[in-house]
């Protein structure tokens, strides 16, 4: 390993660790509130819908899997209803082709969302038109909207009922912070619902 490789690794890991330290003060209350909202949603028989683009699409799938399967190996618990709106290539491509990509997630919210469900909108910029449209439709249909955002929250911040905003402008650091926050939220939900 060259010295420059080692420097890059060191700088990246320190930057990621420093962001996580900032998140203690910037995000802890919002993480707890998010877990409370999600636990309440599940306890009332409602479900989560999740959406995002690119890495955020992968995170939507990852988070949904943690709820459906489980986060903690020690927890023997029932499945929790969470659907990533990013996984069905047939409806995503048909929607993009027929309705425009800006409408693919709002169309899925229209089909699957019910009053008092939660839509988790994941975006590093907070300005993706398809995520904005999904949040707006979810609000119209009386879903609770929860943003998992970065930078300054973008346009989505003011549209969501509640948000966790990772305090960074660096996309990769935001994504690392978002998945860490999501894991903690899952852990808190499991504790609240199953002890």
| Residues 72/142, Cβ–Cβ less than 8 Å | no
Q: For position 3, what pLDDT does the model report?
A: 67
Q: Which domain holds residue 166?
A: 3-194
Helices (H), the chain: 3-43, 55-68, 89-99, 104-112, 129-140, 154-159, 171-194
* 136-164 confidence digits (pLDDT tens): 999 999 999 999 999 899 999 999 999 99
Burial of 73 (0-12, 13-18, 19+ CB in 10 A): exposed
How many domains are there within the chain? 1
Structure confidence at residue 173 as a pLDDT band (50, 70, 90): very high
* 7-66 confidence digits (pLDDT tens): 999 999 999 999 999 999 999 999 999 999 999 999 999 999 999 999 999 999 999 999
Cα dihedral 44, 153, 139, 59, rounded to 10, equals -50
Q: For position 101, what pLDDT does the model report?
A: 97
Does 195 or 57 have the greater pLDDT score?
Answer: 57
Return phi, psi of residue 120, to 5°: -100, 115
Structure confidence at residue 96 as a pLDDT band (50, 70, 90): very high
**pLDDT, the chain, mean:** 96
CATH number, residue 150: 3.40.50.10490
CA distance 78 to 60: 20
In this predicted structure, the answer to whether residue 1 has a pLDDT above a threshold of 80 is: no
Q: For position 73, what pLDDT does the model report?
A: 87
**DSSP 8-state class, residue 160:** S
Report helix, strand or coil for 119.
strand
Q: pTM of the entire structure?
A: 0.95
| Residues 59/51, Cβ–Cβ less than 8 Å | no
* 100-134 confidence digits (pLDDT tens): 999 999 999 999 999 999 999 999 999 999 999 99
Percentage above 90 pLDDT, the chain = 94
Q: For position 147, what pLDDT does the model report?
A: 98
Average pLDDT over residues 77-95: 96
In this predicted structure, the answer to whether residue 179 has a pLDDT above a threshold of 80 is: yes
- In sequence order, what are the residues at sequence separation of 6 or more whose Cβ sits closer than 8 angstroms to the Cβ of residue 189? 35, 38, 39, 42, 67, 80
């Amino acid at each position: 390993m060259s010295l420059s490789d080692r420097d890059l690794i060191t700088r990246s890991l320190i930057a990621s660790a420093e962001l996580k330290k900032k998140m203690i003060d910037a995000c802890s209350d919002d993480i707890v509130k998010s877990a409370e909202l999600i636990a309440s949603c599940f306890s009332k028989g409602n479900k989560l819908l999740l959406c995002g683009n690119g890495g955020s699409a992968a995170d939507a799938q990852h988070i949904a899997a943690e709820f459906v399967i489980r986060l903690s190996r020690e927890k023997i618990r029932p499945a929790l209803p969470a659907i990533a709106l990013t996984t069905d290539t047939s409806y995503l491509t048909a929607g993009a082709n027929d309705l425009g990509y800006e409408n693919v997630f709002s169309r899925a919210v229209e089909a699957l969302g019910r009053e008092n469900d939660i839509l988790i909108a994941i975006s590093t910029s907070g300005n993706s038109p398809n995520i904005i449209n999904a949040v707006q439709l979810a609000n119209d249909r009386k879903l609770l909207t929860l943003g998992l955002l970065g930078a300054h929250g973008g346009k989505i911040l003011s549209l969501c009922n509640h948000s966790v905003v990772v305090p960074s402008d660096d996309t990769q650091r935001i994504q690392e912070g978002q998945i860490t926050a999501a894991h903690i939220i899952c852990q808190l939900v499991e504790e609240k619902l199953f002890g």
